[in-house]
Amino acid sequence: MQAALLVAASATVILALGLVHLLYTFYGSKLLPRDAALRAEMERVHPNITRQTTMWRAWIGFNASHSMGAILFGLVYGYLALAMPAALFGSVFLRALGFAFLCGYVLLGWRYWFSVPFRGVLLALVLFAASLVTAI
């Protein structure tokens, strides 16, 4: 039971980060460039891969899809931990996948993000790792 609660706590951290990030993607100014000219340029310029979008639309889409990935992880692993712990802890694949996902987020956070989301995903990884140790 303790291992399941640790995974649920880990999933809750990622779910909260994903929900806040999705909210910031579409509302408010948190993810807007400080330089209004940069936003205007992003709205004008297309990436090399296509002229069907702009860098601004890609920015919004990448942020939204990133949020959705975190939300999906939080919901799926939270559900598995609370409703189907035997399935979660009985599957090496699911445990390894969750651990790898969080390791990837920690590496991205360390390299590209700022302190709040980095510390959040690091906390989620520590909680998930503790659940794996507890489940042994």
- pLDDT digits 0-9 by tens, 44-82: 999 999 999 999 999 999 999 999 999 999 999 999 999
pLDDT given at position 136: 82
C-alpha distances in Å from residue 117, one per residue of 71, 120, 123: 14, 5, 10
- The pLDDT tens digits of the residues spanning 71-124 come to 999 999 999 999 999 999 999 999 999 999 999 999 999 999 999 999 999 999
Query: What predicted TM-score, i.e. pTM, was given to this entire model?
Result: 0.94
pLDDT at 130 over 90: yes
Number of compact structural domains in the chain: 1
Residue 8 is part of which domain span?
A: 2-135
Tokens of 12: 């809750």
Alpha-carbon 77 to chain mean position: 13
pLDDT given at position 35: 96
